């Protein structure tokens, strides 16, 4: 399997870091740290220096909160994408949006990928992505309403639901012209799932990888990590990194994260252990 994100082609053993850059005032994790332009550009420069392969820009937090009109989402993300494309001509830029009109605008501004984090809520998104020849991340939310939290959600088999939903979405995207090599699938931990569901998706991630699509996991500091360890936001990095290592061993390809340097080290160490990457140096016992 080979896949493309932006102008770059990757092999099936790729382990890529997607750095989160929030253009919001109320993100659950950074609390508006990159709301201002100066801070947002500084964040991108930092994560690129730390080894990020791509960035994911979001103008609306996933959790419940104040309504963000289309015009406001456009204001938050379109000029920023334009500025990033001018400063980083080769950087792969993803935008986290569930709205087709926003997808169209950011792709025209220079973005490469649309991260449709709400599982096809707007059915026009794939056609827009196809028209631009861009990449598309498809997610499983179990039919959850946009920006709502799951409540007593049940599945007979959560991974079967994930596989059925993502397979259907991928086939639909192909039917409207999205390139097969530019489709990525994401089980969407926490989205439409309780902690036990997210843990099962992690445990059985190899079944999703076996479908033959590149798999993205968004694990960073999420509630399933916090509930598993009894840790509040801000204390979940070790649990996130442990889950990252397991996901990498099971074959996931793209990791959407807050902590870039730490994630890059984890992924590279897994790649060295698996034999996909050579050690940086091997002098021990030779001198």
| pLDDT higher than 90, residue 279 | yes
pLDDT tens profile 253-264: 999 999 999 999
- The domain limits of the chain are 23-274
Distance CA 170, CA 161 (A): 14
| pLDDT higher than 90, residue 229 | yes
**Would you say how long the chain is, in residues?**
287
SS3 assignment, position 9: strand
Catalytic residue among 15, 43, 256, 264: 256
Give catalytic status of residue 222 as yes or no. Answer: yes
The tokens describing 56, both together, are: 């994911």
CA angle 175, 71, 35 (to 5 degrees): 105
**Concatenated DSSP letters for 110-177?**
T--EEEETTSSSSTTHHHHHHHHT-EEEEE--TTPPTT----S---SSHHHHHHHHHHHHHHHHHHTT
Distance CA 223, CA 198 (A): 10
Of all residues in the chain, what percent carry a pLDDT higher than 70? 100
| pLDDT higher than 80, residue 287 | no
The tokens describing 54, both together, are: 């791509």
Distance CA 44, CA 198 (A): 29
pLDDT tens profile 21-49: 999 998 878 878 999 999 999 999 999 99
Contact 133, 179 (CB under 8 A): yes
Catalytic residue among 61, 99, 222, 264: 222
Residues 6+ apart with CB under 8 A from 247: 202, 205, 217, 219, 255
What pLDDT, on the 0 to 100 scale, is given for residue 160? 98
Element (H, E) at 243: helix 237-250
pLDDT tens profile 170-218: 999 999 999 999 999 999 999 999 999 999 999 999 999 999 999 999 9
CATH of domain 23-274: 3.20.20.20
Considering Cα of 100, then 54, then 245, then 253, what sign does the dihedral take? positive
What pLDDT, on the 0 to 100 scale, is given for residue 141? 96
The tokens describing 134, both together, are: 């861009």
Residues 6+ apart with CB under 8 A from 53: 5, 8, 16, 17, 18, 92
Contact 83, 41 (CB under 8 A): yes
């Amino acid at each position: 399997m080979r896949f493309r994100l932006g102008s770059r082609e990757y092999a099936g053993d790729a382990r890529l870091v997607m750095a989160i850059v929030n253009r919001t005032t109320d993100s659950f994790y950074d609390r508006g740290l990159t709301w201002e332009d100066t801070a947002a550009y500084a964040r991108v420069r930092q994560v690129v220096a730390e080894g990020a392969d791509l960035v994911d820009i979001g103008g609306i937090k996933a959790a419940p909160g104040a309504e963000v009109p289309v015009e406001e989402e456009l204001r938050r993300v379109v000029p920023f994408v334009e500025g990033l494309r001018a400063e980083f001509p080769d950087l792969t830029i993803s935008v986290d949006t569930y709205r087709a009109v926003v997808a169209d605008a950011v792709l025209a501004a220079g973005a490469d990928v649309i991260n449709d984090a709400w599982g096809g809520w707007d059915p026009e998104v794939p056609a827009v992505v196809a028209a631009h020849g861009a990449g598309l991340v498809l997610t499983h939310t179990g039919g959850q309403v946009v920006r709502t939290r799951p409540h007593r959600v049940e599945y007979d088999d959560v991974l079967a639901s994930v596989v059925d939903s993502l397979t259907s979405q991928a086939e639909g995207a192909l039917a409207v012209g999205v390139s097969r090599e530019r489709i990525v699938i994401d089980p969407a931990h926490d989205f439409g799932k309780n902690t036990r569901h997210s843990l099962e998706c992690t445990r059985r991630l190899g079944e999703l990888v076996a479908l033959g699509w590149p798999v993205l996991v968004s694990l960073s500091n999420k509630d399933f990590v916090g509930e598993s360890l009894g840790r509040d936001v801000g204390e979940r990095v070790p649990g996130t990194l442990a889950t990252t290592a397991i996901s990498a061993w099971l074959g996931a390809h793209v990791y959407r994260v807050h902590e870039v340097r730490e994630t890059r080290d984890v992924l590279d160490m897994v790649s060295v252990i698996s034999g996909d990457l050579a050690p940086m140096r091997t002098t021990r016992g030779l001198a």
